[in-house]
Amino acid sequence: MTVLRARELYRFYRAGDEETLALRGVSLAVPGGKLVTVAGPSGSGKSTLLACLAGLDEPDGGSVYVRDIRISHRPEHERSALRARHIGTLFQSANLLEHLTVRRNLELSSGSSGPATAPVPGPASTPCSMRWA
Ligand SMILES: Nc1ncnc2c1ncn2[C@@H]1O[C@H](COP(=O)(O)OP(=O)(O)OP(=O)(O)O)[C@@H](O)[C@H]1O
Ligand SMILES: [Mg+2]
């Protein structure tokens, strides 16, 4: 079963007259139980992609689905409820507890550590996990 799916993701940043196309039509499908890494040179869009996949950022185009539930293009409170239920996010620093295993850190940062505080669209399911700098 596909637990994470992205279709034709686009993300632009604009600073003054300068426009950066950080994501240009990225599509992917991650099957359950698979470990997937995202690799590429600095500035190639890895952090932008992971932020869009986790619902922390909104793509300018395209869609993200977690277990067939669309997480993109929703109000922030709905995205955060979906994140709490389905997605564990470990940043490279700041929010890791050293005495816990990676699995336990992920459980704590995902909905599996407790009930969501807001109504969650879609059915309950196993969280997926992400880690990035
Ligand atoms: N908030 C922002 N405003 C403007 N441009 C941005 C912003 N965030 C990222 N970018 C630009 O988008 C592109 C992709 O950046 P991103 O941080 O996703 O790359 P990365 O692959 O994670 O890089 P690194 O390996 O250095 O972490 C880069 O050109 C970056 O300068
Ligand atoms: Mg990065």
Domain count of the fold of the chain: 1
1-54 pLDDT, tens digit each: 899 999 999 999 999 999 999 999 999 999 999 999 999 999 999 999 999 999
The ligand whose atoms approach the alpha carbon of 132 most closely is 2
DSSP string for 93-132: SSS--TTS-HHHHHHHHSGGGS--SS--SS-----EEEEE
| CATH code of 15's domain | 3.40.50.300
Residue having the nearest C-alpha atom to atom 12 of ligand 1: 22
Parent domain of 46: 2-132
- The residues lining ligand 1, judged by C-beta closer than 6 Å to any ligand atom, are 13, 15, 20, 22, 40, 42-48, 133
Does pTM surpass 0.85?
Answer: no
Amino acid at 26: V
